[in-house]
Amino acid sequence: MTTTTELMPYDEALARFDPVLGLEVHVELNTVSKMFCGCPTEFGAEPNTQVCPTCLGLPGALPVLNGKAVEAAIRIGLALNCSIAEWCRFARKNYFYPDMPKNFQTSQYDEPIAFDGWTEVTVPNEDGDGEPFRVEIERAHMEEDTGKSLHVGGSTGRIHGADYSLLDYNRAGVPLIEIVTKPVEGAGEKAPEVARAYVAQLRDLLLALGVSDVRMEQGSLRCDVNLSLRPDPSAELGTRSETKNVNSLRSVERAVRYEVTRQAARLSAGDKVVQETRHWHEDTGVTTSGRSKEQAEDYRYFPEPDLVPIAPSREWVEELRGTLPEPPREHRARLQAEWEFSELEMRDVVGAGALSSVEQTVAAGASPQLAKKWWLSELARRANETGVEITALPITPEQVAGVQALVDAGRVNDKLARQVFDGVLAGEGSPEEVVAARGLEVVSDDSALGAAVDRAIEANPDIAAKIRDGKQAAAGALIGAVMKEMRGQADAARVRELILERLS
Amino acid sequence: MPTDAHGHDPAITRDEVAHLAHLARIDLTEAELDHLAPQLAEILDSIASIREVAADDIPPTSHSVPLTNVFRADEVRPGLSAADALAGAPECEQQRFRVPRILGEEA
Ligand SMILES: [Zn+2]
């Protein structure tokens, strides 16, 4: 069955409807052990090697709460300007589904640990400046991740049509924080940018808090995008769709834009928007219908009897408040001033999701401009080519600073530096190791360079004559000849000096 | 509707117990059902009697001990090997639990 989805051009959709957003972000915490048991949380282990009676839901096993996860939840809540509950409990969310072997997920229901917060994001306006936009936070609550299913058979790889499923419970029980916004109203045509800016800022904030490695491509930060349209801002909220697992910043923006154009076309044609879960397709940039939510699920929530309530003392909360990093907007403003970047330069860095990478590269010793240069040109291009976020490239900010240090020391030039990046990204080791293994170091040894310079002068008598006549600009051609002979591995500045010494 | 030994409707019928056992993938024999269903009904009856005692001025409670903030340190403890974890699985494949396909849903 193929049906074409009608879409309305974005500008037309915005002229006729007012979009309202809702964002639900799941963050996997970077604790070394799971939420309720001592199993490790490391990503990528062999299936079912990080499991125990508790996370497998075996009879008689009892959960005990990971204190570090509670601490992280409170710090996240405080960083999002939330109130912290004086007393709250976990609840069982009951469902029969094999991704949770207990037949329930331990979550928080009507007593979240953090609630009623806000955060201010920066959205670009027409003049190219950043404008503040306030996003209200409904709640941040603790829960556990589910296992991973592999659906075997069928044609689509999805559950529908699969013959059977294979379950790996390594991820079951990994601590999760779910952060839910209140309806985000008033974003208008900027709704896609606001959604992206919010998730990008949340990611930077979580990174600064040090509570998660926030790798969207590994699923440690996952975003569900809710969107509804209404005829105008004074009308009641429309029916919303819930697009699941939108797992890159770019996709968050695209998914919002797509749902606006899809829902606008439906509403204009007199159809209703169905309240449903939709799937995001990264490759084609469309959403497709999933499970209908017409019948609200009944999870029969009830307080978890095996875990005692959490009552964070006000002293503890204040102590944790003292550990918070600088708020994102202040942080951004301070870095912009320190780095002497223009608003446009800063926006490029933030928009590329490279703020923390550049910051750490500067901290490791590179100049802000050069740190920005490598991340936004060379590394952004490679991230684009391989379809991953910049932060997911297999290179650390320290290594980037290391490459720049080699350039500063005159040991490699920019061209060779690119080859050093190739090597580091290919897993050949540190910049130093790549230079050694690939023999990339520039030659600045005068005897080797001098011989090449002499040969270049001999081969180009006309150019040499011009330089003798005082036309130093002509030296470029001779430098080029030397570089060619040395396969780009000559110290260009020293070559120039040697040429001018000989021809003055 | 069947009645119990005291002549009133049981809180849970034998058929309902059989249905729950099926949902939970627990194989119960006819004899076990005969044995367990009245016991479960009796347990539910006992719990229901608490409702008669609980007046409006008694707040609902979820825990019998007045404890809060029981935390463990974030430390890795040895768990089960994959072989041990899978030992009780009805079926496994590729070191994973194999389960029947899930109908009527996509995820
Ligand atoms: Zn475990």
Whether residue B93 has pLDDT greater than 90: yes
**Given B23, B72, B99, which is nearest A164 (Cβ)?**
B99
- Minimal CA separation from A17 to chain B, in Å: 30
- How many CB atoms lie under 10 A from the CB of residue A491? 22
The residues spanned by each domain of chain A are 10-318, 326-438, 446-503
Average per-residue pLDDT in chain A?
90
CB contact under 8 A, A38 and B105: no
Phi first, then psi, for residue A225 (nearest 5°) are -110, 115
The whole model's pTM is what?
Answer: 0.79
Residue pLDDT, tens place only, B27-71: 999 999 999 999 999 999 888 888 788 778 877 788 888 899 999
Which of the four CATH numbers 1.10.1740, 2.60.120, 1.20.120, 1.10.10 does domain A446-503 have? 1.10.10
CA of A43 to the centre of ligand 1 (A): 15
> What's the mean pLDDT in A117-128?
84
Whether residue A284 has pLDDT greater than 60: yes
Give the β-pairing of A175-181 and A130-144: antiparallel
HEC string of A137-202 equals EEEEEEEECCCEEEEECCCCCCCCCCCEEEEECCCCCCEEEEEEECCECCCHHHHHHHHHHHHHHH
Residues 6+ apart with CB under 8 A from A276: A241, A242, A289, A290, A291, A292, A293, A294
CB contact under 8 A, B107 and A50: no
Query: Which residue in chain B is spatially nearest to A151 when comparing CA positions?
Result: B101
Confidence of residue A294 (pLDDT cuts 50, 70, 90): very low
**Given A32, A64, A308, which is nearest B63 (Cβ)?**
A308
pLDDT at A154: 66
CA of A253 to the centre of ligand 1 (A): 36
**Given B63, B74, B95, which is nearest A309 (Cβ)?**
B63
Question: Is this complex scored with an ipTM above 0.95?
Answer: no
pLDDT at A441: 79
In the stretch 159-188 of chain A, residues with CB closer than 8 A to chain B read 159-160, 162-169
Number of H helices, E strands in chain A: 17, 15
pLDDT at A444: 72
> What's the mean pLDDT in A494-501?
87
Whether residue B102 has pLDDT greater than 80: no
Report chain B's terminal Cα–Cα distance, integer Å. Answer: 40
B contact test, residue of A28, A32, A37, A48 with most B CBs within 10 A:
A48
CB contact under 8 A, A68 and B70: no
Nearest to A362 by CA among A347, A350, A344, A374: A374
B52 touches chain A (CB under 8 A): no
Whether residue A173 has pLDDT greater than 70: yes
- Minimal CA separation from B5 to chain A, in Å: 31
Residue pLDDT, tens place only, A295-312: 556 788 999 999 999 999
**Given A56, A87, A164, which is nearest B85 (Cβ)?**
A56
Beta bridge partners of A242: A226, A277
